[in-house]
Amino acid sequence: MARITAGIASSHVPLLGVASDQGKDRDEYFGPIFAGYDWTRTWMEAERPDVIILVYNDHASAFDMTVIPTFAIGCGERYKPADEGWGPRPVPDVAGHPDLAWHIAQSLILDEFDMTIINEMAVDHGLTVPLSMMFGKPEKWPCKVVPLAVNVVTYPPPSGNRCWALGEAIRKAVESFPEDLNVQIWGTGGMSHQLQGPRAGLINAEWDNSFLDRLAGDSDDLRHIPHIDYLREAGSEGIELVMWLIMRGALGAAAKALHRHYHVPCSNTAIGHMVLRPDNGEGFDMSGSDRQRSATP
């Protein structure tokens, strides 16, 4: 059966894509940001996921005011990088996994999550920047991707509680897929940032770090943070963090942090990154660098 073996949280600042594409990722400004992902890149080489369920948000690239799906799942074969105003990023196309994606769509919809099914769309920095952070600049992305797009751009976004519950349903869907697949789930966007208005530039390191503290462990209190708290504490774009809760919900009751990185600032944004392992106390039977550690309390 397919299994979710790890969850990854990461910011998606578009400037990081520019830094990667222009070879500036180790300069004075970007060096400390990218260095926080070195551990993950090495770990990923041992993990070798087959598929990533990549929870992200589109920024008016594939969708706009004409269509605003709350939750959408990509069931296509391929996705091209979007043109966000400066031409598409020079990164590989993203290969989908239609069989797994359709299976997840069916399971979620029959579980009463009314997903929008997308067969064709371009993917913007929300999806391609996390891929660059985790994999660098390969000729081809090393695994398939099931894009899961969440509306966090136009009010109202889904609640944190609904996102967490969607994650739980995704885990159930993955575990009922008969093929042996090593599946990761990524939650992207955040951390605190506000791009417009009188509070533009807002960053709240204390609140972000408390969020990171609470992402690991066996508490689910993050799911109950109301929208207004994200807006007050983490800024208008801090609401992107609800997407991390889909990832966290998919890891089960307890999760263990394997790696954590926080850096301020990057562009207008606080960078947060965490690698998590589901902590079900049973250990893992798939080969991998540190799967055994997940069994220890």
Residues 6+ apart with CB under 8 A from 223: 160, 161, 163, 164, 165, 245, 249
- Taking CB under 6 A as the criterion, the residue among 59, 89, 261, 273 binding ligand DHB is 59
Residue 58 within binding range of ligand DHB, rule CB under 6 A? no
Residue 269 within binding range of ligand DHB, rule CB under 6 A? yes
d(CA 247, CA 196): 27
In the complex, least distance from residue 70 CB atom to ligand DHB, rounded to whole angstroms: 18
In the complex, least distance from residue 75 CB atom to ligand DHB, rounded to whole angstroms: 25
Beta bridge partners of 269: 266
Catalytic residue among 193, 261, 263, 273: 193
Q: Read off the tokens for 220.
A: 């689910």
* 273 classed as catalytic: no
Instruction: Restricting to residues 169-228, name those near ligand DHB by CB under 6 A.
Output: 193, 195
Residue 20 within binding range of ligand DHB, rule CB under 6 A? no
Instruction: Using DSSP, state whether 279 is helix, strand or coil.
Output: coil
* 261 classed as catalytic: no
d(CA 297, CA 279): 8
In the complex, least distance from residue 129 CB atom to ligand DHB, rounded to whole angstroms: 9
Give the residue with the Cβ less far from ligand DHB, 53 or 243: 243
d(CA 164, CA 144): 23
Residue 151 within binding range of ligand DHB, rule CB under 6 A? no
Instruction: Using the Cα atoms of residue 76, residue 68, residue 110 and residue 166 in order, give the sign of their dihedral.
Output: positive
- Residues forming the active site: 125, 193
**Contact residues: ligand DHB, CB under 6 A:** 12-15, 59, 193, 195, 237, 267-269
